[in-house]
Structure 1
Amino acid sequence: MIEEFRKTSAERDIPLIHQHMMRTFSLRREEIITSSLPVSELKDRWPALFNETQLYCEFHRITNLHLPHVFYAALDEYAPRLIGLYKKKKTGRVGENMDQLLLEYEQQDKNDICTTRTAALAGLPIYLKEDSSGIFKTCKDEMEFHEAALALVADVGEEDVPAGVPFSPRQVFVVLEDQVVMTHYRWTDALVCLFGLIYALHLSYPVKCSSFFEFIQVVLLKLDDERKQLRPKLQTLKNELV
């Protein structure tokens, strides 16, 4: 399979790659969970996990969910209500940060579903009072070095971006352990890939932004890991969305 990923995309034998990934799933999961290998080594050993199609297949093998389909269906359901809640946050630093985001949102094309999706996700860390600055970053040039254990780095040129989440990035880099492992042209799609990689590589959620990722896991994807209850601020938000 490693040889297949040395070929161009057009030359790869996709059915063969998929068959190999299915056959080696148990071995791969055991290795990833028990060995704690660096991401660079995992990328060398299992390059298909960093291919978007195979990443989603791996997520399905782990959870029995089609990640982008379930994620976007739930997000599109909750996004209008989330933005409605954001508009009520009018006090203190949280209110100021939310106002900046909503002002930028109001200047976007509302007919573009990605606009609403981006606003709903960008506002979540603000609403949950989490510091996402180390996770959602921007850069002015794609050649900048991206130093982060786990991050989305959006190439925005000279644009000023509220909350580190752009509505129209030039491209978005998925960064793990200081290296770009995937690239996308939409911020929300890059986030879906990042979440898939967290599951596929058995990574922990960033401590400072853990509620954001738990919201995706428990509320959007309904993957609760048999937990007894959510932390209070997430439970409150979930109740407000009913």
Structure 2
Amino acid sequence: MKQVMTRMERTYSLQRRYINDNASVSSLKNEWPFLFNDQCMLQHYALLVEKKDAKANFLENLEVRGKELFRTLEDPAKQRSLKVAVIHKLLEINIKCVNDRENIKSNALVDLISCYFKEPISDLYHCQPQDCLVSDLCKDAPPQPFIVVIGTSIYNASKFHVYIESQLHYSTTTLAEALAYQFCSFYVLNIMYPSKCLATYEFIQRYFAGINPEGTRSSMSRKRAAVHPKVLGLVRLLSG
């Protein structure tokens, strides 16, 4: 695998040229099959965003900054400015996490973020039961990078699969690892964020991945739009 990664690093510019020519995911997979290997995908992403330890930083920020986000939104002084739905979501998460607070609570992080922005979590992931047929795992999944959670809910999940255009590309036992691969896929493959979940993805990009361009990646247009005002609002709340 080391030789493969070395070769993929040396041909990085060729891969970017192919991707930037609006190549489809299927043609890209035929031309550069190793790109979809998790190590190669993350290596490509690190080169693209010029962050050597991109994955490690992303995972660390999910843990550290995720806890900061929970602490801030659970602060009674901050809750005065929160919507009722967000407070209810915090209560639901805390009830579910009584027996295994930290591990399960970290899995609920994205749920909380999407609730704050009033965006559907169904555009980031959906749950499938343990006995679900393989052919049904990606049923109704959108074409963009998408997580299929194996379990009746995010709180009792046993495995996480990342699908792109209804094809399985990565599997892991942690949501954090699945989010890392999913997020990197958006950047590496030049895929725009879905409009229904734009604020959630942009917040993940800015707060956890540490990527802060002047605009955002919108599926409504391939041009950069202004920074999402709700994202700026939450970042200010967390830094206040």
- Tell me the TM-score normalized by structure 1: 0.80
Instruction: For 2:15 and 2:82, locate their aligned partners in 1 and report how far apart those are by CA, in whole Å.
Output: 48
1:226 maps to amino acid: E
Structure 2 residue 37 is the aligned partner of structure 1 residue 51: yes
Instruction: For 2:20 and 2:235, locate their aligned partners in 1 and report how far apart those are by CA, in whole Å.
Output: 30
Displacement, 1:76?
2.6
Tell me the equivalent position of 1:126. Answer: 115
Cα gap change, 1:96/1:79 in structure 2, threshold over 3 Å: closer, same or farther?
same
2:96 maps to amino acid: E
Structure 2 residue 61 is the aligned partner of structure 1 residue 64: no
Deviation readout 1:1-46 (Å, 9 max, x if unpaired): xxxxxxxxxxxxx232122212211111111121331x22222221
Tell me the equivalent position of 1:3. Answer: none
Query: Residue 137 of structure 2 contacts residue 148 of structure 2 at CA under 8 Å; is this kept in 1?
Result: no
Tell me the equivalent position of 1:21. Answer: 8
Cα gap change, 1:76/1:145 in structure 2, threshold over 3 Å: closer, same or farther?
closer
Query: Residue 114 of structure 2 contacts residue 120 of structure 2 at CA under 8 Å; is this kept in 1?
Result: yes
Deviation readout 1:93-146 (Å, 9 max, x if unpaired): 444444323321334243xxx434323233110111111223210111252241
1:155 maps to amino acid: I
Query: Residue 102 of structure 1 contacts residue 119 of structure 1 at CA under 8 Å; is this kept in 2?
Result: no
Instruction: For 1:145 and 1:231, locate their aligned partners in 2 and report how far apart those are by CA, in whole Å.
Output: 32
Q: Secondary structure at the match of 2:237?
A: helix
Aligned length: 218
1:154 maps to amino acid: V
Tell me the equivalent position of 1:103. Answer: 95
1:238 counterpart (229, 235, 238): 235
1:189 counterpart (177, 182, 187): 177
1:171 counterpart (145, 155, 159): 159
- Tell me the TM-score normalized by structure 2: 0.81
Instruction: For 2:92 and 2:231, locate their aligned partners in 1 and report how far apart those are by CA, in whole Å.
Output: 23
Instruction: For 1:206 and 1:102, locate their aligned partners in 2 and report how far apart those are by CA, in whole Å.
Output: 29
Runs of 4+ in 1 over 6 A off after TM superposition: none
